């Protein structure tokens, strides 16, 4: 299983592994020992398709080498590139056996059988009426082997149609899993040792699962149910849309200690003109006001965001408005991208495309500012005692590592018996992407 792209793909890959297990497939590390290779792809930005074709070229050689020694290899392409470019994949890479879109993973066993029977390629990029999660088997083991942290997809797809984005086309319309099925999966994860769950969705805070009585369950209510599961210490969710940040969810950040004070809330731009062109459905002032309300509810809340520079029509003033929003809000972390035209999206054909060199300059300035803010944020926690969930051993002997409430990696000298526990740590120093700390007296020999 080769996985590219977002965390939703990571989750999907785990579920594809689950669905194939009854057929006798188990994951392996190296493609040349694999009877089947699934490439789970991402289409969000530039050169997605080229990257897939060059990887497929490499896999073809593996397939041929194995064939020479009498072993067959099934090659499958899954994910959003498969959805968007399925036919082209089969035309350009005829050695691919299976192409399947993100909504049809539950049909994978059937496709494997059909590919074996037909000896020809099988393609399934429908948006079926049934929800794949209703048909995927319950994961026997926690989906990430013996892990203390796990992803759980609760919502998929998007109806918002931002001007630049392929997601509504590759992942389809928005849909939510029923509350009971999410809670049951979370319980199994916690029974398997998971202590921190990140709820996933392209628009996770638009979650509207069904309650058993037919009423709608929002994300705040769902988080409340999950926080009642004994043993589950931490809940996160990503990715959120500012428009779906309702009062109940803001209140949950005030009232629910398990809900971690770190929120990925993409704003994309700080210019009202560009936000409008992007079809984001809110202004920069509304975003600022939302951040204020969130910080009132949870004063230690840190924010992360996504930014796009060079959306069609973006002027120097628009870009400066984005810089100003960053200065005003202050982000603990962020992802930023040059706008890249995605085929079939409204912005791709819009007038006022921004030259690459202008995008480069803007991206550099933006990233320098965000880097400064990230360093400042990491520095601001040094000296504090914060709860760290330990998840594994460090590189150096005697070291254990974990994560802070703000998702910063933390390294300390300490006993392995603390792995799986959340304990207070005094943070002592910051590095570019991690922190070091020391245990308080009572845990040193725990
Ligand atoms: N060009 C650049 N960045 C994009 N993103 C989505 N589509 C594009 C695009 N066409 C970014 C957005 C989104 C993140 C997942 O990827 O910032 O929030
Ligand atoms: Fe894409 Fe916008 Fe939907 Fe996010 S909200 S997935 S950026 S269309």
β-pairing verdict for 262-264 and 302-309: parallel
Ligand 1 pocket test target in 167, 306, 342 with most atoms within 8 Å of CB: 306
Residues 6+ positions from 189 with CB-CB distance below 8 Å: 142, 143, 150, 152, 197
Q: Is 152:189 a contact under the CB 8 Å cutoff? A: yes
Q: Is 202's C-beta closer than 6 angstroms to any atom of ligand 2?
A: yes
CA of 128 to the centre of ligand 2 (A): 21
Counting ligands in written order, the one closest to the CA of 240 is 2
Q: Distance between CA 333 and CA 352 in Å, rounded?
A: 30
Q: Which residues line ligand 1 (CB under 6 A)?
A: 44-45, 164-165, 266, 268, 306, 308, 337, 339-340, 342
Q: Is 83's C-beta closer than 6 angstroms to any atom of ligand 2?
A: no
Q: How far is CA 40 from CA 4, 51, 101, 123, 300, in A?
A: 6, 12, 9, 15, 36
Q: 153 - beta bridge partners?
A: 200
β-pairing verdict for 155-156 and 149-153: unpaired
Q: Distance between CA 211 and CA 178 in Å, rounded?
A: 7
Quick check: helix, strand or coil at residue 36? strand
Structure tokens at 251: 């209140």
Tell me which residues of the chain have a pLDDT lower than 70: 118-120, 129-130, 135, 138-146, 445-446
Q: Which atom of ligand 2 is nearest to the CA of 202?
A: 6
Counting ligands in written order, the one closest to the CA of 305 is 1
CA of 282 to the centre of ligand 1 (A): 17
Task: Quote the pLDDT of residue 232.
Answer: 97
Q: Is 128's C-beta closer than 6 angstroms to any atom of ligand 2?
A: no
pTM over 0.85: yes
Q: Is 203's C-beta closer than 6 angstroms to any atom of ligand 2?
A: yes
310 dihedral zone (left: phi>0; alpha: psi -120 to 50; beta): left
Task: Quote the pLDDT of residue 432.
Answer: 84
Q: Distance between CA 174 and CA 319 in Å, rounded?
A: 31
Q: Which of 223, 269, 224 is nearest to 242 (CA)?
A: 269
Q: Is 148's C-beta closer than 6 angstroms to any atom of ligand 2?
A: no
Ligand 2 pocket test target in 84, 168, 274, 275 with most atoms within 8 Å of CB: 168
CA of 80 to the centre of ligand 1 (A): 14
Counting ligands in written order, the one closest to the CA of 275 is 2
Residues 6+ positions from 427 with CB-CB distance below 8 Å: 381, 382, 383, 384, 385, 386, 404, 410, 435, 436, 437
Q: How far is CA 54 from CA 98, 121, 356, 399, in A?
A: 17, 19, 24, 39
Q: Is the dihedral of CA 264, 268, 269, 273 positive or negative?
A: negative
Q: Which atom of ligand 2 is nearest to the CA of 280?
A: 2
Q: Is 161's C-beta closer than 6 angstroms to any atom of ligand 2?
A: yes
Q: Which of 176, 173, 182 is nearest to 201 (CA)?
A: 176
Ligand 1 pocket test target in 9, 43, 45, 345 with most atoms within 8 Å of CB: 45
Q: How big is the CA angle at 430 (ends 426 and 435), to the nearest 5 degrees? A: 55
Q: Is 113:122 a contact under the CB 8 Å cutoff? A: no
CA of 370 to the centre of ligand 2 (A): 22
Helices and strands: H and E segment counts in the chain = 13, 20
What would the pLDDT profile of 6-64 be if each residue is shown by its tens digit? 999 999 999 999 999 988 999 999 888 999 999 999 999 878 889 999 999 999 999 99
CA of 44 to the centre of ligand 1 (A): 6
Residues 6+ positions from 63 with CB-CB distance below 8 Å: 37, 73, 75, 95
Tokens 């009423």, residue located: 215
Structure tokens at 380: 């601001």
Q: How far is CA 440 from the centre of its chain?
A: 33
Q: Which residue's CA is the nearest one to ligand 2's atom 5?
A: 160
Residues 6+ positions from 373 with CB-CB distance below 8 Å: 326, 330, 331, 332, 334
């Amino acid at each position: 299983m080769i996985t590219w792209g977002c965390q939703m793909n990571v989750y999907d890959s785990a579920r594809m592994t689950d669905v194939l297990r009854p057929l006798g497939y188990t994951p392996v590390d190296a493609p040349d020992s694999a009877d089947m290779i699934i490439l789970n792809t991402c289409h969000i930005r530039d050169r997605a398709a080229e990257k897939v074709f060059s990887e497929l070229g490499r896999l073809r050689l593996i397939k041929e080498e194995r064939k020479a020694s009498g072993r067959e290899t099934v090659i499958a392409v899954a994910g959003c590139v498969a959805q968007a470019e399925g036919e082209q994949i089969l035309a350009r890479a005829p050695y691919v056996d299976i192409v399947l879109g993100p909504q049809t993973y539950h049909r994978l066993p059937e496709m494997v059988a059909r590919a074996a029977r037909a000896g020809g390629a099988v393609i399934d990029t429908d948006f079926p009426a049934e929800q794949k999660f209703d048909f995927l088997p319950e994961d026997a083991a926690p989906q990430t082997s013996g892990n203390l942290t796990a992803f759980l997809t609760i919502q998929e797809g998007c109806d918002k149609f931002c001007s630049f984005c392929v997601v509504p086309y590759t992942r389809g319309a928005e849909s939510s899993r029923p509350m009971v099925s999410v809670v049951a999966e979370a319980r199994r994860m916690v029974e398997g040792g998971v202590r921190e769950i990140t709820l996933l969705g392209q628009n996770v805070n638009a979650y509207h699962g069904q309650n058993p009585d037919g009423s709608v369950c929002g994300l705040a209510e769902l988080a409340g149910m999950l926080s009642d599961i004994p043993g589950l210490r931490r809940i996160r969710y990503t990715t959120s849309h500012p428009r779906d940040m309702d009062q109940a969810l803001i209140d949950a950040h005030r009232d629910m200690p398990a809900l971690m004070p770190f929120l990925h809330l993409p704003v994309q731009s700080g210019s009202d003109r560009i936000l409008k062109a992007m079809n984001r459905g809110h202004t920069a002032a509304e975003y600022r006001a939302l951040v204020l309300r969130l910080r009132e509810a949870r004063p230690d809340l840190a924010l992360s965001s996504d930014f796009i520079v060079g959306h069609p029509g973006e002027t120097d003033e628009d870009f400066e408005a984005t810089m100003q929003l960053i200065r005003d809000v202050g982000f603990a972390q962020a992802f930023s991208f040059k706008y890249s035209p995605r085929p079939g999206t409204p912005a791709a054909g819009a007038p006022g495309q921004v030259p690459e060199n202008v995008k480069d300059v803007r991206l550099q300035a933006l990233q320098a500012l965000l880097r400064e803010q990230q360093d400042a944020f990491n520095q601001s926690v040094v000296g504090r005692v914060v709860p760290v969930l330990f998840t594994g051993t460090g590189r150096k002997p005697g070291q254990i590592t974990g994560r802070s409430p703000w998702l910063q990696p933390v390294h300390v000298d300490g006993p392995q018996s603390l792995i799986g526990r959340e304990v207070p740590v005094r943070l002592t120093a910051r590095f570019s992407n991690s922190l070091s700390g020391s245990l308080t007296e009572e845990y040193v020999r725990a």
